């Protein structure tokens, strides 16, 4: 930062020390991710997936019981007996997943912690799907 590698727009903000520091603080995550993305390829011969060595696979049967007063629906093809839903859309999807002959099993991603990491515009983000679905194998 001292070498002026970070360009601040509008330039007037770069001249005011307080505004510059505020802008850098608010953009710190993007700055760190950008630097990280430049370091990793330069120091990595190959990319390798990283798994939790203590629990590489997590099962729905590992879930702890929790109580809720929220609306829910019975689940037939899910490993969990109820699907708690936050909207009528989620309730409709749960109904369709149970009804659909192409669905072998499904679970609502509630209290499971399943996340997909991805990078968008230099920032690492997490995508949490509403449902996890195992489709039946269809042979032509």
- Spatial separation of the C-alpha atoms in residues 98 and 107, rounded to whole Å: 10
Confirm whether pTM is higher than 0.75.
no
Per-residue tokens: 21: 């520091």
Per-residue pLDDT of 5-45, as tens digits, reads 778 888 888 888 888 888 888 888 888 888 777 776 665 55
Per-residue pLDDT of 45-87, as tens digits, reads 555 555 667 766 767 666 677 777 777 777 888 877 777 888 8
- Spatial separation of the C-alpha atoms in residues 51 and 48, rounded to whole Å: 10
Distances (CA, A) of 16 to 6, 10, 22, 31, 74: 15, 11, 10, 20, 59
The domain segmentation of the chain, as residue ranges, is: 11-43, 66-135
Q: Is the CB of residue 33 less than 8 Å from the CB of residue 122?
A: yes
């Amino acid at each position: 930062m001292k070498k002026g590698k970070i360009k601040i727009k509008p330039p007037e903000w770069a001249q005011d020390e307080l505004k510059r520091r505020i802008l850098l603080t608010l953009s710190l995550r993007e700055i760190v991710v950008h630097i990280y993305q430049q370091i990793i390829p330069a120091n990595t011969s190959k990319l390798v997936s990283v798994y939790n060595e203590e629990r590489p696979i997590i099962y729905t049967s590992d879930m702890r019981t929790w109580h809720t007063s929220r609306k829910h629906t019975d689940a037939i093809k899910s490993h969990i007996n109820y699907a708690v839903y936050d909207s009528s859309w989620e309730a409709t999807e749960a109904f369709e997943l149970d009804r659909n002959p192409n669905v072998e099993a499904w679970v609502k991603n509630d209290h499971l912690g399943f996340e997909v990491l991805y990078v968008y515009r230099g920032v690492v983000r997490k995508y949490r799907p509403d449902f996890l679905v195992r489709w039946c194998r269809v042979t032509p």
